[in-house]
Structure 1
């Protein structure tokens, strides 16, 4: 798909008006068609080859579109949608692209009838407001403290993914991780899964061995072989400074004339490091972790005092440890105080998994940070499990912020579609067609679910429409068998926040692309013609 390149001279036509709009609609539909088969529990996987030669196997809309290279500006805008959706709510990345593509496809016939884009946009905006009201009417509250209800909800987000075979295990992991990192700050609920819930992937073993640790795990070993590798209830000191000899700032060279001077320099170095270690030992730690280096001399002094040392810990890992064990990260050893020592950890031990050594800080009494340990047969499978688990954690996190549910399986979209079709009859003028068109476009979700499991879309959609016309707004499509079922009994629910975000993002982006009536390329003529710009021949008179 090549971007339309427009060189602004008298001989070339620019893509303006209707032509530019149709070009954008075609590009958006092409992107939507790429991932249409990735919706629902019977979805197909895409195999992507990245530039480095690695492969990615996934049906996650965002992961697929991240790897797709497009040149058309409208297609790039569509790809940006799934990224926005992923960052905002973490789920619904495939739905939002399919829906936005369908919205634009619905607008094409209205443009052919010479309805002005602004009239279409006005109808789209009214339809969006009414759609959100319908969602509020059909949504039900959920108790975030009821584990069974929460698990059922997270399962609906994982049911369409690769890990659906282990959905009970994965839902439990996602929910435990989110509940661990949730905390109150300044009177508001905070759930920062990006910073405090780390996923560690270790190839080998079985997926069933995956677990959420009540603490933190690092890919580190002790700095000295004689140091302890297992400590119960350790006192932990976290540092952000090197335990090494600090040379003078402007001291670039020293002249040594006799052996005594050399011994004195070494002695100063030893005294300084000894002093550092004494500051640390004054708070009686069992375990010292620093983000910087540790000299051999410092290791020697600390080992003699029976202290275990880990060095070059990542900044992000250090923050997680501080939160899990209740320690404070100290920048200068001279400032170390008793209250900076972390005592919330129950067990420190180092285990060998495969060829690597891993440090575990577990049995934390009040961990507000955790590590999710994933095991599995290969790196590709672990990467896909990781992506799916991120989605599940985002869904669980959304429930803490807006604890409301709407029926899944295309039921919400169908309910909105039927309601918008009714309300469109009461509108006057040309606005009623695009308004009703939004309702028709929303049917793409149940229709795609039926197509992806090999059902008959016309027959089943008619049955579904009939149920909704009778007021049964919880009826949707069983994505595995392709039948019409009641979602209350079937148990597929989706977070209200994800559904609202999907609708808003899809309709607003379709509106944005419809307002484009001119595509002007910034590519210079020099680049296009492959040489110098083509001007009039030498000596020729310029045109008047």
Structure 2
């Protein structure tokens, strides 16, 4: 007989069957229980220590779960679920975890009764299809162009957040930012890329009421030579580069053999001529401001300042893309490929201002900006971080309204409607899938129940009283 072939390590432990199902459900319920108290307008904030030792104070489900260090695969899947919700929808990260935890909790009873997991999943998929159909029937169409309506919707989203105490401020910022970067694709479709084209710049100090949406962009940079270059330019002509304005350094093991003493001077002259040639190619387009993502040598700085051109170097790629969208410029890879159409003329003002201890460059008053910066002011970094998280949720909701202008009731009303409708439909389902389907309907009650508990209401007593009246 052949000796057995070892595929896995001897020390490896493999589990299977019902025991693993229960372990996965318990792990998922543990994750849901962590953030259960952060749901709704009466929710509590959680105070966490992040990996770098900083403090995070938030009731945003995704922000809390992001800081958790979990080893269990099912718990990790729950955290990924929250992250996906945050990426795709922007809000409802806590609700989705509470609902998922409850769905698994009600499934545990069927695992104990030896139901096969595929049967439970099939019933859940049926319930999902029916739930989406119910949502379509109760959804109300809204006018995305009516600012008052959209403002009310965005306010309802941040009403459960820490920043609800600041009233309309954050909702106004979110709507202004999303309408600025919205692009018409034709056929009634609009694209709103809040991740690429809206930058939130947090500057500690000042009042939160000083926050505003800039009609353009700002970034944490100063001109290369503050004494020689202009810090304020009205209607600037802007050139954006993705190439260095400095002499190329030799690659590894580059050798240069100098025979005569004059050869050294010739080498330096070649370098200077190369830089001068680059600068002259730029200067002939009469720009007021040159921004490059790469380096800019002292010699290039000299030639540009001599021509009256302000320059900024080592800018982030993302910031450069936003400037291009705001002022209508095209990012060029080589100065010799520059054309007049690449020069950005859409900006009304370039200005460098000092806020606190740092210099910030503003390119504002743009004619038709398709990118913007939200400037947030506040007392402390922790406050600003939480305001930013709430603002991201508000902007995501504003984007969703623009993309799909429909509204369903909140406060657990929608979940109760779905639950009641699914319970009615469960009587018409035949076979073994009837019971998991009904359990899925009951699981939807988790959201209103959690909301009531977080308000300090005794759920059982209230439901008993309501049933007595009925």
Normalising by structure 2, we get a TM-score of 0.93
1:332-481 paired onto structure 2 within 5 Å: 332-461=334-463
Q: How far apart, in 2, do the equivalents of 1:381 and 1:404 lie?
A: 32
- Secondary structure, in 3 states, of the residue corresponding to 1:35? helix
Q: Deviations over 1:51-71 (max 9, x none)?
A: 321111111111111111222
- Secondary structure, in 3 states, of the residue corresponding to 2:433? helix
Moved more, 435-444 or 267-276: 267-276
How many angstroms does 1:363 deviate by? 0.2
1:15-164 paired onto structure 2 within 5 Å: 15-164=15-164
Q: How far apart, in 1, do the equivalents of 2:91 and 2:467 lie?
A: 26
Note if contact 2:46-2:59 (Cα within 8 Å) is conserved in structure 1: yes
Note if contact 1:198-1:370 (Cα within 8 Å) is conserved in structure 2: yes
Structure 2 residue 234 is matched with structure 1 residue 252: no
Q: Deviations over 1:425-480 (max 9, x none)?
A: 2333443222111111101101111110111213444678899x9xxxxxxxxxxx
Any gaps of 5 or more consecutive residues in structure 2? 1-7
Q: How far apart, in 2, do the equivalents of 1:466 and 1:428 lie?
A: 32
Distance of aligned partners of 1:13 and 1:305 in 2 relative to their CA distance in 1, 3 Å threshold: closer
Q: How far apart, in 2, do the equivalents of 1:79 and 1:13 lie?
A: 25
How many angstroms does 1:27 deviate by? 1.3
Q: Please name the residue that 1:211 is paired with.
A: 212
- Secondary structure, in 3 states, of the residue corresponding to 1:184? strand
Q: Please name the residue that 2:179 is paired with.
A: 179
Q: How far apart, in 2, do the equivalents of 1:49 and 1:23 lie?
A: 27
Q: Please name the residue that 1:234 is paired with.
A: 236
Q: Deviations over 1:322-378 (max 9, x none)?
A: 110000111111111111110000000010001100000000001000111111111
Normalising by structure 1, we get a TM-score of 0.80
- Secondary structure, in 3 states, of the residue corresponding to 1:44? coil
How many angstroms does 1:294 deviate by? 1.4
Q: How far apart, in 2, do the equivalents of 1:242 and 1:106 lie?
A: 61
How many angstroms does 1:8 deviate by? 8.9
- Secondary structure, in 3 states, of the residue corresponding to 1:306? coil
Note if contact 1:447-1:461 (Cα within 8 Å) is conserved in structure 2: no
Note if contact 1:327-1:343 (Cα within 8 Å) is conserved in structure 2: yes
Structure 2 residue 175 is matched with structure 1 residue 192: no
**What is the root-mean-square deviation in Å for CA atoms of aligned residues?**
2.3
- Secondary structure, in 3 states, of the residue corresponding to 2:47? strand
How many angstroms does 1:422 deviate by? 1.4
Moved more, 344-353 or 429-438: 429-438
Note if contact 2:60-2:93 (Cα within 8 Å) is conserved in structure 1: yes
Q: How far apart, in 2, do the equivalents of 1:348 and 1:460 lie?
A: 61
Note if contact 1:8-1:14 (Cα within 8 Å) is conserved in structure 2: no
Note if contact 2:258-2:264 (Cα within 8 Å) is conserved in structure 1: no
